[in-house]
Structure 1
Amino acid sequence: MKTVFVTVGTTSFDELIENITSSEAVQALKARGYERLVLQVGRGSLLPADDSCPHVRLEAFRFKDSIAEDMKQADLVVSHAGAGSCLEALGAGKPLLVVVNDKLMNNHQLELARQLHADSHLLYCTCSTLTETLTTMDLSVLQPFLPGRPQHFANFLDKALGVQ
């Protein structure tokens, strides 16, 4: 069963939850073959009921100790633009659509999304363009995000400090 996992991290982003569960967005997902929608709603005021989205199987929760299994099972991750959530999804090797909260002031999230999009690691949009993006997105253009190699930095530090 093709699954979309949506995460807002530890914050609240009710506008994303409202938009992804709208009939238009659900129709766009359904048209792409997605049949299951799993929502991690964080501290938001919305916790949609399992029967609130006709035509898809909906599951919603606030928090878990780890969302790694939810990401692993997902065919698509839709996330807020928090760095931790983005890196976790990219590290899991999942196609990622980032929804930037354009209501935040001094929005560093947009900078992160733009850079990772420019490198073809993810797609991004805002809540107002979410349904259109779900309808037109081409996930085949996304490139894998290669994990960092911390040993290179450790070797550099060892050499710089004269330990090596």
Structure 2
Amino acid sequence: MGDAEDGVGPKRTVFVTVGTTCFDALVRAVDTREVQQELSARGYTDLVIQMGRGTYAPKKSNGEDGSLVVDYFTFSPSIVDYLRSASLVISHAGSGSIFETLRLGKPLIVVVNEDLMDNHQTELAEELAERKHLYCARPQALYKTIADMDVESLLPYVSGDAAPVAKHINRFLGFPDD
């Protein structure tokens, strides 16, 4: 396997998503030299940031100096292709982004937006981290989470079968069993 720096090695992309929100703290955190150097040291080659409604624009890089190739965009009709091609996903704590990433079997770091009033996203992220399906971080601790992570130790997330629940609800509502 060649080195990523010589352009021969495998492309390993980190995809960052903030969804439709403004989460400049996350974008700023991944735009630091410290975080980017740690990602590069771990073999990642590219950083693609979906910055949503944020106002902070990260620095783009073509990777010529051996650093990560960095690009960003605001919105996309679908981020599924970005998620599929990612080697690591760093996401806001939105349940859609979390479960789509886990369904695809991608290593995931969820960064909690402490500026949001509703705490259910934090609870979800912390519960899934406790079950070892993902890592959970605050923006200011993202570097440490990346430095300490072992993606091989994450457990696959297996979604539950909703059919029994749907059947029970249908019976309760008086619909016939199929």
**Structure 2 counterpart of 1:76, one-letter code:** L
Q: With structure 1 as the length reference, what TM-score do the two structures score?
A: 0.92
Aligned-residue RMSD, C-alpha: 1.7
Quick one: distance in 2 between partners of 1:83 and 1:117?
13
- Counterpart among 77, 87, 90 of residue 102 in structure 2: 90
User: In the superposition, relative to structure 1, how do residues 154 and 107 fare at CA in structure 2: closer, same or farther (>3 Å)?
Assistant: closer
Quick one: distance in 2 between partners of 1:111 and 1:143?
19
1:109-124 equivalent positions in 2, closer than 5 A: 109-124=121-136
Render the CA deviation track for 1:4-50: whole Å, top value 9, x for unaligned.
Answer: 00000000111111110100000110110001001000000023342
Who wins on radius of gyration, i.e. which is larger?
Answer: 2
1:7-156 equivalent positions in 2, closer than 5 A: 7-51=17-61, 55-156=67-168
Partner of 2:3: none
Render the CA deviation track for 1:27-83: whole Å, top value 9, x for unaligned.
Answer: 110110001001000000023342287601112010010000000000110001111
User: In the superposition, relative to structure 1, how do residues 52 and 13 fare at CA in structure 2: closer, same or farther (>3 Å)?
Assistant: farther
Where 1:98 maps in the other structure, the secondary structure is strand
**Structure 2 counterpart of 1:6, one-letter code:** V
Partner of 2:8: none
Q: Structure 1 regions of 5+ residues with no counterpart? A: none
**Structure 2 counterpart of 1:56, one-letter code:** L
Where 1:75 maps in the other structure, the secondary structure is strand
